Amino acid sequence: MRYVTTGASRGLGLEFVRQLLERGDAVEAGVLLLEENADVLRALARESKGRLRVHPLDVTDPASVGAFARAVDKGGPLDVLINNAGIFGGTEPLSELDFQGVLRTFDTNALGALRVTSALLPTLRRGSIRRIACLSSRAGSLTENTLGGLYAYRLSKAALNMGVRNLAMELRPEGFTVLCLHPGWARTDMGGPTAPQTPEESVQGLLQVLDRARTEDTGRFIDFRGQEVAW
């Protein structure tokens, strides 16, 4: 199968690429700041015998998203899109909130996934699987927010969740399956060194969820263990 993964130069995005290549899939990887961050990806591409292609991608820039979509489309139909690119934003309280920083986080995490999905829809429509996954977080759950804080991240992920629900309703008649996925708290640059899950464990579980997904699952919010997450 043929996948797209955004935010692929590190963390969960890079682990998605590794595991997909290991099992024989083809991957189109979108990377911010291509020249600076993609050394590992370039090595994987050299070893992949053409199954991995690496492209520059800034999900907040419509021109960059458009160029990425055109490059992906040249490779043929697309089966699965994994919207992984994201940033954490600040941790300051309301009295010190950087509102421009909140907007940047929202633009990346919520609108970025919608930009990429919209641009790649024609290529996904040519595929037979028609699956879209957006990496969200329990931090975006209204039900599970019992601590507050993390304004930028929580707001952006809650908005992403609503975007996924909208996409699921809009694309259901075409046979698409659109999912929100919670990767757990993984030991990445964003998750930190004390997180309980390894990237390997998180991505292995997420790929199992994606592999099992069917059209009747569209619009669900699921964690890496296959458990439902409250909205």
Domain ranges in the chain? Answer: 2-223
The average confidence (pLDDT) of the chain is 93
Q: Find, among 134, 131, 114, 133, the residue nearest to 123 by Cα.
A: 131
pLDDT tens-digit profile of 18-39?
999 999 999 999 999 765 667 8
Q: Which tops the pLDDT comparison, 187 or 206?
A: 206
pLDDT for position 137: 95
pLDDT tens-digit profile of 92-147?
999 999 999 999 999 999 999 999 999 999 999 999 999 999 999 999 999 999 99
Residue owning tokens 């390997």: 200
Q: Find, among 163, 168, 135, 162, the residue nearest to 231 by Cα.
A: 162
pTM: 0.94
Radius of gyration of the chain (CA): 17
pLDDT for position 186: 63
pLDDT tens-digit profile of 58-97?
999 999 999 999 999 999 999 999 999 999 999 999 999 9
**Tell me: domain 2-223, CATH 3.30.70.980, correct?**
no
Q: Find, among 2, 43, 21, the residue nearest to 203 by Cα.
A: 21
